[in-house]
Amino acid sequence: MNTKLHAVTDAKGRPIRFFMSAGQVSDYTGAAALLSSLPKADWLLGDRGYDADWLRKALKDKGIKVCIPGRKSRKKAVKYDRRRYKRRNRIEIMFGRLKDWRRVATRYDRCPETFLSAIALAATILFWL
């Protein structure tokens, strides 16, 4: 069983939204699923896996500025704020805090729905800590 967890956090690194996809699926699938439910924000920070022209345009239409570095295979380099991009570590810290929960870290639940519910329970507590 292989899954990929896509997440949205606030500026403080607290989890807000989750989407689980199959592990072999592109990150674009998670971005498309979370796009309609994004909260009001000034900036969206993401890693190279979320670099797509359609995503940049959709976020611009919503009034959200984008800080996503371009993929290495891009023919034309994309400019991004490197200093702001360093703040993306907050989502990595959130994933690390989720993995403090043994049930999440070791993936006891084989059913994706049950695993996502365990993540939601851990995220609810993380939000308030």
CATH of the domain at 77: 3.30.420.10
pLDDT per residue as tens digits for the range 46-70:
988 899 999 999 999 999 999 999 9
Domains held by the chain: number: 1
pLDDT value at 41 more than 70: yes
- φ, ψ of residue 22 to 5 degrees: the values are -65, 150
In contact, 28 and 36? CB cutoff 8 Å: no
Instruction: Categorize the per-residue pLDDT at 128 as very low, low, confident or very high, splitting at 50, 70 and 90.
Output: confident
pLDDT value at 1 more than 70: no
pLDDT per residue as tens digits for the range 70-125:
988 888 888 999 999 999 899 999 999 999 999 999 888 888 899 999 999 999 99
Give CA 19 to chain center in angstroms.
8
Query: Which range marks the domain in which residue 33 is found?
Result: 3-128
